[in-house]
Amino acid sequence: MDVNSRPTWIYDKEAVTQICDVGISLWKGNWFADPKRGVDWLGVFRLTYNRQALIGIIVSALSKIKYVKDVVDVTIDIKNRKAQIAYTVKTDVGKVSGGGAA
């Protein structure tokens, strides 16, 4: 909100990082506005573990985010059946890095 209590759109590195983090944590088909968005986590859980396939799925999900111009790097560290995902993408506001657990 601005000083007059009107909604404002914040578009900076932190906002884009949050959008990307939500984009890779979103389960494909769970957003009413665009059921094609997100990651097919059910499909991932059904697959025999394949690091390159999982990286490709994350790259695909990040590439569909309108602010992302290019996916620079995606890494996955898997321990105790949990994946820690880290990424770097190029955007209009510069390089953005983020990630999360899956």
CATH number at residue 29: 3.10.450.40
Reported for 66-75, long-range contacts at CB under 8 A and 24+ positions apart, including other chains, are 67/11, 67/16, 67/19, 67/20, 67/91, 67/92, 67/93, 68/20
Q: Could you give the count of Cα atoms lying within 13 Å of 51 in the half-sphere of its Cβ?
A: 9
Reported pTM: 0.79
Give the domain extent around 58: 13-101
27: pLDDT strictly greater than 80? yes
Q: Is residue 2 part of a domain?
A: no
Lowest pLDDT segment from 51-60, 63-72, 85-94: 51-60
User: What pLDDT is attached to residue 49?
Assistant: 64
Lowest pLDDT segment from 29-38, 43-52, 57-66: 43-52
Whole-number mean pLDDT of the chain? Answer: 84
User: What pLDDT is attached to residue 42?
Assistant: 77
Question: Looking at the 3D structure of the chain, how many domains does it have?
Answer: 1
User: What pLDDT is attached to residue 88?
Assistant: 96
